[in-house]
Chains A and B, each alone.
Chain A
Amino acid sequence: MCGFREIILCGLMVLAPIARAADPLPIFDAHVHYSQEAWERMPPKEAIALLRKAGVTRALVSSTNDDGNQKLFAEAPDLILPSLRTYRTRSDMGTWFRDEGVATYLQERLKKYRYAAIGEFHVYGADVDAPVARLVVQLAKQYKLFLHAHTDVDGVERIFRQDPAARVLWAHSGFERPEKVREMLRKHKSLWSDLAFRNDHAASGKLDADWRAAFMEFPDRFMVGTDTYTAERWHYVVEHANWSRGWMTDLPRDVAERIAYKNGNAVFGSMLKP
């Protein structure tokens, strides 16, 4: 039974979980770019401040070229998980998978710096079997890194044929329908999906039924991401985090927490520890 002091204590104990539930969800942002225009316009301190303002507790970040990434990592190693992009300049986007110069660049960076992943890179279908794309899959295996792949279903299949043990974060879930994403997640146990630059899973804080089924079937395999592909988009990080929190209220709290940050922490959390 509660006396007066106990009543207060009991009340606090009852209220504590409610207060926790009402706290804004931390966000693991799995899709951030900090490319040259961004770092020229927004120094690392400002960029980190924006991430923290959004409640982003960790972020998988890549930049073109990689120098921006390193600047950001140096500023906040507790927050930033660098991912090595396969582009020295954006013009490499359509050709990198055949470019020996990119191969040399990647090998040099991997020797010099620490990363959590290679990507986000764009490559589709049969180009995944091109020489430099193959090398990237092998480098990921050698350095125990994730592959952050902006690719199609065929591309995902080809990566896993090259290395069945590869760990792949599928950028934008391939812009595939939820049924296909579920099919791929069922088939490949080391495939995760990011939801960056997609709106089809939720509108006005409500989940699409097919996507809800995907999240409920694979609560451990999805992550959110802002995709800051221009400098201006850094000002969208807060908006995106809040939007994500909005639709996640339509999920059971434990599933929401996993997609918001726990999956990212579970998968990448042990990487790049000092």
Chain B
Amino acid sequence: MTKWKKNLLVGAVVAGALAPWLTGVTEANEPGIIEFNPAEVSRILSHGPWPMNWSPDPSNRVSGSTHAVDLGERLFFDEKLSVKENVSCGTCHVAEYNWTDGVKRNQGQAMVDRNTPTLMNMRHHRWFALDGAADSLWAQSMRPIVDPRELASNATHVAQYVRKDADLSCRYEKTFGVSPAKQDDETVLVGVGKVMAAFQETLVTEFTPFDQFRDALARGDKAAAALYPRDAKRGLQIFVGKGNCSTCHTGPMFTNGEFHDVGVSHFIDGDSKKVDGGRHDGIKKLMASKFNLLGPYNDDTTRATAIKTTHVKPEHRNFGEFKVPSLRNVGYTGPYMHSGEMLTLDQVVRHYSDLNVDRLHADGESLLKPLKLTQRESADLVAFLQSLNMDRAPPWRGKEYANPPCVLNARAAADDTYAP
């Protein structure tokens, strides 16, 4: 049988399986029942299942290690990594705020230019930071440490601190099998980035009301599907239909992981003399970084992880593009947009509803058109977005550890039992 015939057959079987469900779901004569057509159903199903499968990052040899996760979490909340010992990664990435901070822009040693992105589900991303200036989570984890506006630290300070603190030094050796005293400063800084990445890889959002509905749809469970609120269903229909939202906010992560210009001003702080180049600047930073996946610190001997980086080149359209955010837990990640200029999801929806096409290139983001939503449609879209939230805000995490002091022993490697 030829390949296309096989595809046709598979398609027919899938359509046949969905048909009874569709006629069952639609129940168009009943008031208030939301009708989803086959294309909509297909799009809805593409947003799951959740959680996604994951395997450790080959570019980070301690990805998935329990020792690395433990050390990474300690360092994540450790203000002593900053030169002034006053700021940690946890200053801006706060668990209860879905690992962001709830403010427009935050301040380390100085005010930064962009809104703090959430760390949730970072393990599923391809590019990191709003401009994609890093191609791995471990490389990204080092950038705020050395950014003068954030921790304002450097490799020497970080390495000396890890070496001098006996407990951290012990945990470092347990993780990497080598004492930080035997490594140069830069290698230790990279090690710190890698354990922090291992920690962040454990931050995953939970099952949501949308996932319950999506899975009910997948298995044809009408009773379970009926529990999903009607306004969220109407909003979902806009999301996968006339809103075209799911074209960029794709898949179980609700992001294509790429960069787009959605017509948001990228002057910094409204100052006409300062502009945020977004993805264009990010690519230049990425290519200039010795910590990118093309460099010597990539632990992936096959270099398959670096293929994406070899293909990236700055283009004119990248100027003013920012990363498409995941929408999981979006209700907990405001303010919104790269600069945090929109405080609520209502404002975000209004932005797309009244989109200013003057700000878009005629041959650029051709999908983007003003949605011209009614008040009810806007409210429905927000209701759908809120259904992407976990039922509870992420629980508190901080710098209190019950673990006993680190002891190096021969069983260290065998104790490393983390299973993703």
A residues with CB within 8 A of B: 35, 37, 41-42, 46, 64, 90, 93, 122, 150, 172, 175, 197-199, 203-204, 227, 229-233, 235-236, 239-240
Verify A122–B313 contact, CB threshold 8 A: no
Interface residues of B in 346-401 (CB under 8 A from A): 357-363
Measured CA separation A199–B313 after assembly (Å): 10
Verify A235–B362 contact, CB threshold 8 A: no
Asked, given contacts A37-B358, A90-B358, A175-B363, whether A197 binds B320 with beta carbons under 8 Å apart, the answer is no
Interface centre among A37, A150, A240 (most CB of B within 10 A): A37
Residue of B nearest to A175 (CB): B363
Q: Enumerate chain A residues within 8 angstroms of B265, measured Cβ to Cβ.
A: 232
What are 20 pairs between A and B in contact, CB < 8 Å?
Answer: A37-B359, A64-B358, A172-B363, A197-B361, A203-B313, A229-B360, A229-B361, A229-B362, A230-B320, A230-B358, A232-B266, A232-B267, A232-B319, A232-B320, A235-B275, A236-B277, A236-B280, A236-B316, A236-B319, A239-B280
Contact mask for chain B residues 238-276; partner A; CB cutoff 8 A; 1 contact, 0 none: 000000000000000000000000000111000010010
B residues with CB within 8 A of A: 265-267, 272, 275, 277, 280, 313, 315-317, 319-320, 357-363
Verify B363–A232 contact, CB threshold 8 A: no
Measured CA separation A240–B265 after assembly (Å): 20
Verify A232–B275 contact, CB threshold 8 A: yes
Verify B362–A122 contact, CB threshold 8 A: yes
Least Cβ–Cβ distance between B326 and chain A, in angstroms? 26
Measured CA separation A42–B319 after assembly (Å): 18
User: 12 new A-B pairs (CB below 8 Å) besides A37-B358, A236-B316?
Assistant: A37-B359, A41-B267, A42-B272, A90-B358, A93-B362, A227-B361, A229-B362, A232-B319, A232-B320, A233-B320, A235-B277, A236-B319
Q: Enumerate chain A residues within 8 angstroms of B280, measured Cβ to Cβ.
A: 236, 239
Measured CA separation A236–B318 after assembly (Å): 11
Least Cβ–Cβ distance between B114 and chain A, in angstroms? 15
Least Cβ–Cβ distance between A247 and chain B, in angstroms? 12
Q: Enumerate chain A residues within 8 angstroms of B266, measured Cβ to Cβ.
A: 232
Verify A90–B275 contact, CB threshold 8 A: no
Verify A199–B316 contact, CB threshold 8 A: yes
Measured CA separation A34–B299 after assembly (Å): 49
Q: Enumerate chain A residues within 8 angstroms of B363, measured Cβ to Cβ.
A: 172, 175, 197
Measured CA separation A169–B265 after assembly (Å): 30
Main secondary structure on B side of the interface with A: loop
Least Cβ–Cβ distance between B247 and chain A, in angstroms? 21
Least Cβ–Cβ distance between A21 and chain B, in angstroms? 27
Measured CA separation A235–B360 after assembly (Å): 16
Q: Enumerate chain B residues within 8 angstroms of A199, measured Cβ to Cβ.
A: 313, 315-317
Interface centre among B280, B316, B361, B363 (most CB of A within 10 A): B316
Verify B316–A227 contact, CB threshold 8 A: yes
Least Cβ–Cβ distance between A98 and chain B, in angstroms? 18
Q: Enumerate chain A residues within 8 angstroms of B362, measured Cβ to Cβ.
A: 93, 122, 150, 229
Least Cβ–Cβ distance between B226 and chain A, in angstroms? 43
Residue of A nearest to B316 (CB): A197
Least Cβ–Cβ distance between A245 and chain B, in angstroms? 15
Residue of A nearest to B356 (CB): A90
Measured CA separation A204–B283 after assembly (Å): 12
Verify A90–B361 contact, CB threshold 8 A: no
Verify A197–B317 contact, CB threshold 8 A: yes
Cβ contact of A240, chosen from B267, B313, B316, cutoff 8 A: B316
Measured CA separation A231–B320 after assembly (Å): 11
Residue of A nearest to B268 (CB): A232
Measured CA separation A199–B283 after assembly (Å): 15
Measured CA separation A231–B277 after assembly (Å): 13
Q: Enumerate chain B residues within 8 angstroms of A122, measured Cβ to Cβ.
A: 362
Q: Enumerate chain B residues within 8 angstroms of A175, measured Cβ to Cβ.
A: 363
8 closest Cβ pairs, A-B complex:
A41-B272, A235-B275, A199-B315, A90-B358, A232-B275, A203-B313, A236-B319, A197-B316
Verify B359–A230 contact, CB threshold 8 A: yes
Cβ contact of A233, chosen from B313, B319, B357, cutoff 8 A: B319
Measured CA separation A150–B361 after assembly (Å): 12
Residue of A nearest to B270 (CB): A41
Cβ contact of B313, chosen from A90, A204, A232, cutoff 8 A: A204
Interface centre among A46, A93, A230 (most CB of B within 10 A): A230
Residue of A nearest to B358 (CB): A90
Q: Enumerate chain A residues within 8 angstroms of B359, measured Cβ to Cβ.
A: 37, 230
Interface centre among A150, A172, A198, A239 (most CB of B within 10 A): A239
Measured CA separation A235–B319 after assembly (Å): 10
Q: Enumerate chain B residues within 8 angstroms of A93, measured Cβ to Cβ.
A: 357, 362
Q: Enumerate chain B residues within 8 angstroms of A231, measured Cβ to Cβ.
A: 267, 272
Q: Enumerate chain B residues within 8 angstroms of A239, measured Cβ to Cβ.
A: 280, 319
Q: Enumerate chain A residues within 8 angstroms of B267, measured Cβ to Cβ.
A: 41, 231-232
Q: Enumerate chain B residues within 8 angstroms of A198, measured Cβ to Cβ.
A: 316
Q: Enumerate chain B residues within 8 angstroms of A35, measured Cβ to Cβ.
A: 358
Least Cβ–Cβ distance between A193 and chain B, in angstroms? 15
Measured CA separation A204–B360 after assembly (Å): 26
Least Cβ–Cβ distance between A174 and chain B, in angstroms? 10
Least Cβ–Cβ distance between A196 and chain B, in angstroms? 8
Residue of A nearest to B265 (CB): A232
Measured CA separation A198–B364 after assembly (Å): 11
